[in-house]
Amino acid sequence: MEHNLSDTMALLTRTPAALDALLRDLPEAWTLRNEGEKSWSAFDVVGHLIHGERTDWMPRARMILEFGETQAFARFDRWAQARESEGKTLGQLLDEFAQVRAENLGELRAMNLRREGLERRGRHPVLGVVTLSQLLATWAAHDMTHLHQISRVIARGTARRRRGVNRTPQDPFGYPRQNIALFSTAQRRCYNPRISAAMQDRENDERFCLQYMR
Ligand code: NI
Protein backbone atom coordinates (compact mmCIF):
# COMPACT_ATOMS: atom_id res chain seq x y z
CA MET A 1 0.00 0.00 0.00
CA GLU A 2 1.32 3.38 -0.91
CA HIS A 3 2.40 5.51 2.00
CA ASN A 4 0.22 8.56 2.53
CA LEU A 5 2.66 10.91 4.22
CA SER A 6 0.05 13.50 5.16
CA ASP A 7 -1.95 10.80 7.03
CA THR A 8 1.18 9.83 8.98
CA MET A 9 1.94 13.47 9.75
CA ALA A 10 -1.63 14.04 10.93
CA LEU A 11 -0.99 11.53 13.72
CA LEU A 12 2.53 12.70 14.52
CA THR A 13 1.29 16.29 14.82
CA ARG A 14 -1.35 15.41 17.43
CA THR A 15 0.66 13.37 19.92
CA PRO A 16 2.20 16.25 21.95
CA ALA A 17 -1.19 17.88 22.51
CA ALA A 18 -2.81 14.54 23.38
CA LEU A 19 -0.13 13.86 26.00
CA ASP A 20 -0.33 17.41 27.28
CA ALA A 21 -4.09 17.22 27.73
CA LEU A 22 -3.88 13.93 29.57
CA LEU A 23 -0.81 14.44 31.72
CA ARG A 24 -0.06 18.09 32.51
CA ASP A 25 -0.64 18.83 36.21
CA LEU A 26 -1.98 15.34 36.82
CA PRO A 27 -0.98 14.17 40.34
CA GLU A 28 2.26 12.19 40.49
CA ALA A 29 0.27 9.28 41.89
CA TRP A 30 -0.75 8.78 38.25
CA THR A 31 2.19 10.06 36.27
CA LEU A 32 4.92 8.24 38.22
CA ARG A 33 3.13 4.95 38.55
CA ASN A 34 4.50 2.07 36.51
CA GLU A 35 3.81 -1.62 36.09
CA GLY A 36 6.55 -2.98 38.29
CA GLU A 37 10.23 -3.50 37.95
CA LYS A 38 11.86 -2.14 34.77
CA SER A 39 8.51 -0.96 33.42
CA TRP A 40 7.77 2.65 32.54
CA SER A 41 5.60 5.38 33.97
CA ALA A 42 4.04 8.17 31.88
CA PHE A 43 7.01 10.34 32.96
CA ASP A 44 9.45 7.73 31.62
CA VAL A 45 7.54 7.39 28.35
CA VAL A 46 7.59 11.13 27.61
CA GLY A 47 11.38 11.12 28.19
CA HIS A 48 11.70 8.13 25.86
CA LEU A 49 9.68 9.92 23.16
CA ILE A 50 11.96 12.98 23.45
CA HIS A 51 15.03 10.77 23.07
CA GLY A 52 13.43 9.21 19.98
CA GLU A 53 12.90 12.67 18.49
CA ARG A 54 16.53 13.61 19.07
CA THR A 55 18.29 10.39 18.11
CA ASP A 56 16.00 8.09 16.16
CA TRP A 57 13.39 9.12 13.62
CA MET A 58 14.62 12.26 11.85
CA PRO A 59 18.33 11.51 12.28
CA ARG A 60 17.62 8.16 10.59
CA ALA A 61 15.54 9.81 7.85
CA ARG A 62 18.48 12.14 7.15
CA MET A 63 20.85 9.16 7.07
CA ILE A 64 18.67 7.33 4.54
CA LEU A 65 18.69 10.36 2.23
CA GLU A 66 22.40 10.97 2.70
CA PHE A 67 23.95 7.51 2.87
CA GLY A 68 21.29 5.05 1.68
CA GLU A 69 22.16 1.49 2.65
CA THR A 70 25.87 2.13 2.96
CA GLN A 71 25.83 3.17 6.59
CA ALA A 72 23.77 1.61 9.40
CA PHE A 73 21.81 3.84 11.79
CA ALA A 74 23.28 4.42 15.26
CA ARG A 75 21.78 2.10 17.85
CA PHE A 76 18.94 3.49 19.95
CA ASP A 77 19.28 3.60 23.73
CA ARG A 78 15.94 2.54 25.25
CA TRP A 79 17.03 3.62 28.73
CA ALA A 80 18.51 7.04 27.96
CA GLN A 81 15.54 8.88 29.49
CA ALA A 82 16.58 7.80 32.98
CA ARG A 83 19.57 10.19 32.85
CA GLU A 84 18.14 12.76 30.44
CA SER A 85 14.91 13.33 32.38
CA GLU A 86 16.64 13.52 35.74
CA GLY A 87 15.79 16.68 37.66
CA LYS A 88 13.12 17.76 35.15
CA THR A 89 9.42 18.11 35.80
CA LEU A 90 6.84 16.41 33.64
CA GLY A 91 5.69 19.87 32.52
CA GLN A 92 9.20 20.60 31.24
CA LEU A 93 9.31 17.28 29.41
CA LEU A 94 5.94 17.93 27.77
CA ASP A 95 7.18 21.35 26.59
CA GLU A 96 10.41 19.82 25.31
CA PHE A 97 8.58 17.06 23.47
CA ALA A 98 6.20 19.52 21.80
CA GLN A 99 9.15 21.64 20.70
CA VAL A 100 11.35 18.89 19.27
CA ARG A 101 8.38 17.22 17.57
CA ALA A 102 7.40 20.52 15.93
CA GLU A 103 10.98 21.07 14.76
CA ASN A 104 11.18 17.55 13.37
CA LEU A 105 7.87 17.83 11.53
CA GLY A 106 9.00 21.17 10.10
CA GLU A 107 12.13 19.47 8.80
CA LEU A 108 10.13 16.52 7.43
CA ARG A 109 7.79 18.89 5.60
CA ALA A 110 10.77 20.77 4.16
CA MET A 111 12.15 17.49 2.74
CA ASN A 112 9.14 17.60 0.42
CA LEU A 113 9.20 13.84 -0.03
CA ARG A 114 7.60 12.26 -3.07
CA ARG A 115 7.16 8.60 -3.84
CA GLU A 116 10.78 8.10 -4.96
CA GLY A 117 12.04 9.67 -1.75
CA LEU A 118 9.80 7.50 0.42
CA GLU A 119 11.11 4.40 -1.32
CA ARG A 120 14.73 5.26 -0.53
CA ARG A 121 16.37 2.57 1.56
CA GLY A 122 18.58 2.67 4.61
CA ARG A 123 20.16 0.18 6.95
CA HIS A 124 18.67 -0.53 10.38
CA PRO A 125 21.34 -1.89 12.74
CA VAL A 126 19.20 -4.88 13.69
CA LEU A 127 16.43 -5.24 11.11
CA GLY A 128 18.57 -4.68 8.02
CA VAL A 129 17.32 -2.80 4.97
CA VAL A 130 14.28 -0.57 5.63
CA THR A 131 12.63 2.11 3.52
CA LEU A 132 12.08 5.72 4.55
CA SER A 133 8.35 5.02 4.25
CA GLN A 134 8.62 2.17 6.78
CA LEU A 135 10.63 4.35 9.16
CA LEU A 136 7.99 7.11 9.09
CA ALA A 137 5.08 4.67 9.52
CA THR A 138 6.89 3.13 12.50
CA TRP A 139 7.37 6.59 14.03
CA ALA A 140 3.60 7.17 14.10
CA ALA A 141 2.77 3.62 15.23
CA HIS A 142 5.33 4.01 18.01
CA ASP A 143 3.48 7.10 19.28
CA MET A 144 0.18 5.23 19.33
CA THR A 145 1.72 2.26 21.14
CA HIS A 146 3.04 4.51 23.89
CA LEU A 147 -0.26 6.42 24.19
CA HIS A 148 -1.91 3.07 24.68
CA GLN A 149 0.73 2.09 27.21
CA ILE A 150 0.25 5.30 29.21
CA SER A 151 -3.53 4.93 29.42
CA ARG A 152 -3.12 1.31 30.50
CA VAL A 153 -0.48 2.09 33.12
CA ILE A 154 -2.67 4.79 34.63
CA ALA A 155 -5.72 2.52 34.62
CA ARG A 156 -3.98 -0.48 36.11
CA GLY A 157 -1.37 1.12 38.24
CA THR A 158 1.41 -0.49 40.15
CA ALA A 159 3.09 1.71 42.69
CA ARG A 160 6.70 2.59 42.10
CA ARG A 161 9.00 0.45 44.19
CA ARG A 162 11.00 3.45 45.33
CA ARG A 163 7.93 4.77 47.04
CA GLY A 164 8.21 1.86 49.42
CA VAL A 165 4.83 0.31 48.72
CA ASN A 166 4.87 -3.42 49.23
CA ARG A 167 2.92 -6.15 47.59
CA THR A 168 0.85 -8.38 49.83
CA PRO A 169 -1.29 -11.41 48.92
CA GLN A 170 -4.38 -9.21 49.31
CA ASP A 171 -2.83 -6.37 47.36
CA PRO A 172 -0.67 -8.04 44.69
CA PHE A 173 0.04 -4.86 42.77
CA GLY A 174 0.97 -2.83 45.82
CA TYR A 175 -1.62 -0.12 45.24
CA PRO A 176 -0.96 2.89 47.41
CA ARG A 177 -3.61 2.92 50.13
CA GLN A 178 -5.00 6.30 49.12
CA ASN A 179 -5.78 5.01 45.64
CA ILE A 180 -7.66 1.90 46.62
CA ALA A 181 -11.01 3.65 46.66
CA LEU A 182 -10.28 5.23 43.28
CA PHE A 183 -9.38 1.86 41.88
CA SER A 184 -12.14 -0.29 43.24
CA THR A 185 -14.51 0.26 40.33
CA ALA A 186 -11.75 -0.07 37.73
CA GLN A 187 -10.47 -3.19 39.42
CA ARG A 188 -13.88 -4.84 39.44
CA ARG A 189 -14.13 -4.13 35.76
CA CYS A 190 -10.62 -5.24 35.04
CA TYR A 191 -11.26 -8.55 36.66
CA ASN A 192 -13.80 -9.21 33.99
CA PRO A 193 -11.68 -11.68 31.97
CA ARG A 194 -12.34 -10.08 28.61
CA ILE A 195 -11.38 -6.60 29.74
CA SER A 196 -8.51 -7.82 31.83
CA ALA A 197 -7.13 -9.65 28.77
CA ALA A 198 -7.10 -6.37 26.87
CA MET A 199 -5.30 -4.69 29.75
CA GLN A 200 -2.63 -7.36 30.07
CA ASP A 201 -0.94 -6.54 26.81
CA ARG A 202 2.03 -4.79 28.26
CA GLU A 203 4.01 -7.49 26.58
CA ASN A 204 2.72 -6.47 23.15
CA ASP A 205 3.60 -2.81 23.64
CA GLU A 206 7.04 -3.73 24.86
CA ARG A 207 7.59 -6.11 21.99
CA PHE A 208 6.87 -3.27 19.57
CA CYS A 209 9.29 -0.94 21.27
CA LEU A 210 11.94 -3.64 21.61
CA GLN A 211 11.59 -4.65 18.00
CA TYR A 212 11.82 -1.23 16.42
CA MET A 213 13.55 1.05 18.89
CA ARG A 214 17.02 -0.40 18.66
NI1 NI B 1 9.25 3.03 22.51
Instruction: Name the least confident of 39-48, 83-92, 120-129, 149-158.
Output: 149-158
Domains and CATH numbers, the chain: 5-212 (1.20.120.450)
Q: What pLDDT shows up at residue 200? A: 52
What is the SS3 assignment for 141?
helix
**Distance separating alpha carbons of residues 49 and 183, to the nearest angstrom:** 28
Whole-number Å distance, alpha carbon 170 to ligand 1 midpoint, is: 32
Whole-number Å distance, alpha carbon 27 to ligand 1 midpoint, is: 23
Whole-number Å distance, alpha carbon 142 to ligand 1 midpoint, is: 6
Whole-number Å distance, alpha carbon 203 to ligand 1 midpoint, is: 12
**Would the pLDDT of 184 be above 50?**
no
Q: What pLDDT shows up at residue 201? A: 57
**Distance separating alpha carbons of residues 26 and 90, to the nearest angstrom:** 9
Q: What pLDDT shows up at residue 205? A: 65
Calculated CA dihedral for residues 141, 79, 23, 7, nearest 10 degrees: -20
- Confidence class for position 188, pLDDT limits 50, 70, 90: very low
Q: What pLDDT shows up at residue 157? A: 53
- pLDDT, mean of residues 6-22: 97
The fraction of the chain above a pLDDT of 90, given in percent, is: 57
User: Per-residue pLDDT tens for 32-85?
Assistant: 988 877 889 999 999 999 999 999 999 999 999 999 999 999 998 888 988 999
Whole-number Å distance, alpha carbon 165 to ligand 1 midpoint, is: 27
Whole-number Å distance, alpha carbon 146 to ligand 1 midpoint, is: 7
**Would the pLDDT of 14 be above 90?**
yes
Whole-number Å distance, alpha carbon 177 to ligand 1 midpoint, is: 30
Whole-number Å distance, alpha carbon 23 to ligand 1 midpoint, is: 18
**Distance separating alpha carbons of residues 144 and 153, to the nearest angstrom:** 14
The pair phi, psi for residue 26, each rounded to 5°, is -70, 140
Whole-number Å distance, alpha carbon 19 to ligand 1 midpoint, is: 15
Whole-number Å distance, alpha carbon 187 to ligand 1 midpoint, is: 27
Q: What pLDDT shows up at residue 176? A: 47
Mean per-residue pLDDT of the chain: 82
Q: What pLDDT shows up at residue 36? A: 79
Whole-number Å distance, alpha carbon 113 to ligand 1 midpoint, is: 25
State the pTM of this model: 0.78
What is the SS3 assignment for 128?
strand
